Amino acid sequence: GLLFFGMIVSYFSISKILDYLIINYELYVWSVFFGMIIGSIYYISKDFEGWCTKAYISLVIGISIGISISFLDPAKEND
């Protein structure tokens, strides 16, 4: 019950605020999300001690997949 109530409150408050902010301040909103991602990477990397060759290869593969996804064209509807 409490989870459902939280979802309803979030929909009518946070999502409406985010819609307004994305329409009027798109660059700032994306900058905040990007900053949270960078901060999370830094915070997690401090606790990670197992840097070996596999970890570096996985890191490079993950970054390249992420960058390639960001350059894809958005999906379009079928006519």
Predicted TM-score (pTM) of the model is 0.53
- Looking at the domain assignment, is residue 2 inside a domain? yes
The CA distance from 48 to 55, in Å, is: 10
- Looking at the domain assignment, is residue 78 inside a domain? no
Q: Which residues contact 48 (CB under 8 A, 6 or more apart)?
A: 55
Give the chain's domain count: 1
Tell me the residue range of the domain where 35 lies: 1-72
- Looking at the domain assignment, is residue 13 inside a domain? yes
Question: What pLDDT digit, counting tens, does each position of 17-75 carry?
Answer: 888 998 999 999 999 999 999 999 888 878 777 778 888 898 899 999 989 988 887 76
- Looking at the domain assignment, is residue 49 inside a domain? yes
Tokens of residue 20, six digits? 């307004």
**CA 24: distance to chain centroid?**
20
Residue 77 in this model has a pLDDT that exceeds 80: no
**Ramachandran category for residue 58: left, alpha or beta (phi over 0 → left; psi -120 to 50 → alpha):** alpha
Q: Which residues contact 17 (CB under 8 A, 6 or more apart)?
A: none
- Looking at the domain assignment, is residue 77 inside a domain? no
